[in-house]
Each structure stands twice: as structure tokens, then as C-alpha cells.
Structure 1
Amino acid sequence: MRYKSWPYYADWVEVFGKDRATGQGAMGFTDAVNEVLHNNTEPIPVPTTPQHVPQYSFDPLHENLMETCSAQGGDNSCSSKGKRSLKRKRVFEAEDQIVSMLSSFCDNANERFSEFAKGAGFQNAAKEQRKAVYEELHLIPGLVTGQKVAVARYLCKNNDELDLFFSMDLDGKISMVQQILQDL
């Protein structure tokens, strides 16, 4: 439709009678009914804004306008605001649904990240425990470095043996290390 002529534009303006972009010539339902009933052929004057508007309290005018709008009913500018608010309400409801979905997604992601952090914490705890094994083996007299490494490997691979090793006193640890070295 771009660059096409509109030969019926003048007729359409006469039929539809209002410019939706600027609102000039806009006619409400009650105005149209009154025009048909009274056969007013006079054109509707376009309102102009005065250069200087005196400052008055408009509260009584606002109340009169609201009474007129509620008394007239129909499709005029006062009743169309209710329709707009319904559309906005629907948009807000959709936005609320999107926000709730995003917040539940973020909560789920937060739970997963917490689980990952716990897993990383477990790995750090295991690393610290391996260091502690090697430090405990330094307390046992008569072990050379190769024996300490072999016993540390064995204990780190067997978690039950590792727990038992840390639950014993020094004499029990010495006895356990000697048994491990005999089995290797």
C-alpha cells in the first residue's frame, strides 16, 4: 500500500469522522446520537487552548464530569478508559505470570548452585583429609618417604580404612601402617 493513492480518503474522513492520531473531530456515542436526533448540521467546533489559563480549583468540575460520564453511559471517552484498564490489567497479569516463572526458575537455579557448592566443599574436605593423612604418617617413626606415600595412597583409596585410621590413637595407627605395608 506504500506509494499508492487513496482516492476515497475524503469520503472515509466523512464516514469515520475522526483523526485517531490527534483526536481532532472525535465524536462520542452520545454526541452522535444527539446529532442524529436533533439534525445538527453545524460542524463541531475544534477546541482550542487559550494562551493563559487562570488557576482555579477544578475539583467541582471534575465531580460534574464524573457525574455526567456515569449518567450518560455508552461509548464515549469516559467509558473507554475502563476498557483500557482491562487491557492493561491483562498485560499486568501476563507480566506477573512471567515474573513468577522467572523467579521460580531463579530459585531452582539457586538450589542447583548450592548443591554444586556442597559438592565442591566435599572435594575440598577430601583434599584436606588427604593432607592430614600424610601429616599423621610423619608422626610414625621409622617410615621412609616411599612407605609413607604407599600407605597414604592405600588409605585415600579406601575410605573405610581412612576413617578407621583417624579414629585410632598413635599406637593403633602404627600397628595399622605395619599391616598395610605387609599386605602391599
Structure 2
Amino acid sequence: MRHKQWTHFPDWCEIFGNDRATGEHSQTFENALKDVLKLHDDVPDEIQFADAFAFNVSHGEDDSISETHTPSSKPNVATTSKKRKRNQVNEVDEAIVAAINNLADITKATMNDLVKQLAVPDNLSNTQDVVLEALREMNDLSDEEQVIVAQLLFNNHNYLALFKRLNDKGKLTLVKRLLSGD
């Protein structure tokens, strides 16, 4: 919409102005407010606010008959209000919520313990040292290939775990597959 060509835009600007109505019957905010306040001045003081809405008069055309609608004949009819029902607290629901919260707390504690065990820098650096030493022993690899394989292994923990468990021949096979992109 922002970049669409509007063919009648200059005409609209002339009629409506850039941000306000400037046409033949345009009104400013002040004029509209004065008209609204003027309407309230015409209301007689004897009529109360509630009485003003007690009847509804519809004005028809010249050849139609006006109707007057009177309020209901029921005395003191109370208006119905929409009340929200409070949900009844169910003991079963409370037990389920308590069990879920307990499970969440246990899971959170377990995950925190696992993260602490896995994120220990000593374990990670020891693993990296083992991998780098194994790669150095592979005489078929250039230094650049050793760096590439080390990055691939360190970025994928599944490959790293597999590499640590394989024998020398299996490690060489895994390294060749990683370098070929399989």
C-alpha cells in the first residue's frame, strides 16, 4: 500500500487536505465540540438523565405516523449483568499441578547437574587433547586437514564421542569420511 500509485491523490488532498477535512462542509474539532455542547444546552433542566431514555420517539416522513415506545410494564425490572463463574478448585487438579511442579523441579535439578558435568573445562580440554594427539599420529593428513577435522569433531559431539571410541583404523576412516563430506 505504501508504494502504490494513487491516481486521484492530488484531488483527495485538495478535498480533504493533507490531514484534515477542508471540503465544502468540513468542520474543525472546535466547531464539532461547540455543536455537541450546544445540543446539551438545549435540554431542559427538569428532565433527569434516566427520564431522557424512558421513551423512544421515531420521527418518520410527512406521510408516516410517529410511534412512541413506552418502557416495559414490569415494575423495577433489574438489569441482568454478566457474571463470571469462578472455577471450582478441584482436589484432583491441585494434585496434578503439584505432581507436574514436582517433576519440573526434579528435571531442572537433573539438567543442572548434567550441564555442570558436561561443561567442566578440564573434561573438554582433556578430550580435545586426546583428539588432537590422535590426529597428529595420522601421517596421511596435512596440518590443514587436521584442523578441519578437529573443528568438525569439536562442533559435533556425536562425531566426537564416536571418534573417542573407535580404534586407530576406525578413526582414520571417520576422518576421511568427514573430509569428503559424507
TM range (shorter): 0.3 to 0.5
TM-score, structure 1 length as denominator? 0.34
Q: Which has the higher contact order (CA 8 A, sep 6+)?
A: 1
TM-score, normalising length: structure 2: 0.35
| Structure 1 or 2: more helix by fraction | 1
